[in-house]
C-alpha cells in the first residue's frame, strides 16, 4: 500500500514538472541531461527546470522560455537551467542559469521587466544580474 501511495505521489511530482520553455532551434550534436539520462534534442522539445543542455563541436541550440526569454548556446557548451519559475498572471518569477563552458546568448523576457532581480546567469567565477537586455557570455 505504501509503495502504491509513493508511486502515485511520484507520478504527480513528475506531472508537476512544468514546462519552462521549448527548444526552437537545434543544429549538430545536442543533447539534454535530465535526471541522469541523456535525451536527444529535437526542435519542439520541452525544457524543464534542472535540465542541462550540452552541445558538441558542431552543435548549437536555442530555447524560448514561457516568459519570452530567449537563450542560445554555441559549440562545446554546457548550460544548466538551475531554476525556472514564472507566474503568467503577475509576471513574477525566478530564472537561474549556469554556463559551465562554451558560449551563451541571452535576451531577457517578461519576468525581468517585472522585477530586475529575477534573472541571474552564473559562470564558474561570476554571477550576472540582468536588467532588461541582450548579452553574450563565453567561458573557455
Interacting residues toward another protein by CB under 8 A: 22, 24-25, 27, 43-44, 60-64, 68, 70-75, 101, 103-105, 107-108, 123-140
CA distance readout (Å), 79 to 18, 33, 40, 102, 127: 19, 10, 15, 8, 14
9 vs 127, which CB is nearer to another protein?
127
Q: How far is the CB of 48 from another protein (least distance, A)?
A: 16
Q: Please, what is the minimum distance in Å from the beta carbon of residue 108 to another protein?
A: 7
Residue 49 or residue 108: which is nearer to another protein going by CB?
108
Considering the complex, state which of residue 9 and residue 136 has its C-beta at the smaller distance from another protein: 136
Cell output for 27: 543544429
CA distance 9 to 61: 33
Minimum distance between the CB of residue 138 and another protein, rounded to whole angstroms? 4
> Between 8 and 87, whose beta carbon lies closer to another protein?
87
CB of 46 to another protein, least distance (A): 11
Burial state string for 50-89 with b = 16 or more CB within 10 A and e = fewer than 16: ebbbbbeeebbbbbbbbbebbbbbebebbbbbbebebeee
Answer whether 70's CB lies under 8 Å from 64's CB: yes
Amino acid at each position: 500500500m505504501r509503495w502504491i501511495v509513493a508511486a502515485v505521489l511520484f507520478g504527480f511530482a513528475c506531472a508537476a514538472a512544468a514546462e519552462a520553455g521549448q527548444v526552437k532551434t537545434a543544429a549538430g550534436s545536442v543533447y539534454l541531461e535530465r535526471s541522469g539520462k541523456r535525451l536527444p534534442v529535437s526542435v519542439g522539445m520541452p525544457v524543464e527546470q534542472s535540465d542541462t543542455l550540452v552541445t558538441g563541436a558542431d552543435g548549437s541550440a536555442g530555447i524560448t522560455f514561457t516568459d519570452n526569454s530567449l537563450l542560445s548556446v554555441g559549440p562545446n557548451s554546457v548550460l544548466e537551467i538551475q531554476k525556472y519559475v514564472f507566474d503568467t498572471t503577475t509576471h513574477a518569477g525566478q530564472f537561474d542559469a549556469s554556463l559551465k563552458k562554451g558560449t551563451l546568448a541571452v535576451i531577457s523576457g517578461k519576468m525581468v521587466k517585472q522585477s530586475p532581480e529575477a534573472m541571474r546567469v552564473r559562470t564558474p567565477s561570476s554571477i550576472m544580474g540582468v536588467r532588461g537586455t541582450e548579452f553574450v557570455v563565453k567561458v573557455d
